Structures are given as structure tokens and as C-alpha cells.
Amino acid sequence: QKEVEQDPGPLSVPEGAIVSLNCTYSNSAFQYFMWYRQYSRKGPELLMYTYSSGNKEDGRFTAQVDKSSKYISLFIRDSQPSDSATYLCAKGGGSNYKLTFGKGTLLTVNP
Amino acid sequence: NAGVTQTPKFQVLKTGQSMTLQCAQDMNHNSMYWYRQDPGMGLRLIYYSASEGTTDKGEVPNGYNVSRLNKREFSLRLESAAPSQTSVYFCATPRTSGNQETQYFGPGTRLLVL
């Protein structure tokens, strides 16, 4: 079993929809989680970072971590066409700052 | 402050040819990483370097070699390219801010092996 599992989608929603992206992980021996956003033909960019259970909000984006069920989520409210991208979840805490990534979910927001 | 730069941006190779992908960072961190990204596979770690002069294998090292030339530069070499190495390659380095430890990625190199 891969350490981080992510449904690759693709996911297509209308503009204004609430989007939910999810990952599960199998190894409890780490401390922090990230969501990266990757536009087509670009490198991944950090979107959200969290190291504790609960919710973290940044504008239209909310990252949620449930360590008891080993589940991490990203919610996007009032989704916009500019949110169309691949979203990658990642967990950290490994040696040498290594991260483990999910496979990424391709999101398309239709105007 | 360019962050992480990669060259070339795009390359086409024939099977059996060799090439070196270059990566440079000005974020003054000891660690650097090479990933490949394939459809449906996410980012997979090829090699990493914890400090100048040290390198270690990641998840998918076969067919690749690396050199950590100095603190800024980390190169990835394909000695005999194969079609299975067609991919997008990303270089990264840690970015620490307060108690946050993340990775900062370069723009990528798209490689097509025919």
C-alpha cells in the first residue's frame, strides 16, 4: 500500500461549486501535511500547510486533517475557472525533509 | 532571487542517447531532490542529496545517475535513454519558514525519448 493514496479523478465541476479533494495515508510517523497546486506545464506550488488535526482556512481554501482516521482534505469554496489545476497532497516529517506525494487530482472548473 | 532553475525546458532524445538535466538553487539549503512525474503516477523521487558530496537513491533510481556539484547545483544524468524515461522531471529544494518545512519546485524539464 502506497503511503499516501489520492483519487486521481478527473473531477469536473461548474463555477461556484464547492470542491472536496481527499487523501488517506498509512504511516502515522510524520507530523505535517501539505496541498500543492500545479497548473498545466508548471511546477507544483505550495497551497496549504498544516501540522495539526482540525481545519486551517486561507480565503476560499480550507485544509482539514483527521489524524484519528488518517484522512486529509482540501475544500474549495466558490470555485473559479482559475482553480482548474492538478492538486497534490503530501506528507512530510521524513528524514532529510523528504515528502511523500499522492498521485494528484485533476480539477476542471467550468465557467 | 530565482529560487530553483532547470535547464533545458524541453528535450527530445533518441533511444540510447545520453543527456544531463541541470538544476540550480539559490535558496541556500543543503538538500536537493529530483522527481519524475508521469500521468496517473504523481511525483516519484528519483534521487536526493542531503548535502554537498552526498547522494542517495529514492523510489525510482534505475537508469539515472546524479552529481551534487556544489551546494547550488544538482544534475541528473541519463546515460542511455529509454522510452520509459519519457516524463517531466522536477528539481526541488526545501523551503523552511518558521516551523514549516516544505519543498520548492523548479519549472520542470519535459523529456521525450523516441
Torsion of CA B111, A98, B69, A38, to 10 degrees: 40
Taking the C-alpha atoms of residue B109 and residue B93, their distance in angstroms, rounded to an integer, is 16
Q: Are the beta carbons of B104 and A46 separated by less than 8 Å?
A: yes
Candidates A39, A98, A100, A106: best to mutate against B (most CBs of B within 10 A) is A98
Sole residue written with cell 521524513: A94
Q: How confident is the model at residue A29 (pLDDT cuts 50, 70, 90)?
A: low
Q: Is the pLDDT of residue A57 over 90?
A: yes
Q: Are the beta carbons of B102 and A34 separated by less than 8 Å?
A: yes
Residue A36, C-beta contacts closer than 8 angstroms, at least 6 positions apart: A44, A45, A46, A47, A87, A88, A89, A90, A101
Q: Residues A74-96: what's their mean pLDDT?
A: 92
Q: Which amino acid is at A40?
A: S
Percent of chain A predicted with pLDDT > 90: 64
Of the candidates B23, B3, B47, B25, the one whose C-alpha atom is nearest the C-alpha of residue A46 is B3
Of the candidates A107, A111, A110, the one whose C-alpha atom is nearest the C-alpha of residue A19 is A107
Least confident of A68-72, B20-24, B55-59, B64-68: A68-72
Torsion of CA A20, A23, A29, A32, to 10 degrees: -40
Which residues of B, range 36-95, sit inside 8 Å of A by Cβ?
A: 40-43, 45, 48, 50, 56, 90, 94-95
Tell me the pLDDT tens digit for each residue of B48-83: 999 998 999 999 999 999 999 899 999 999 999 999
Percent of chain A predicted with pLDDT > 70: 95
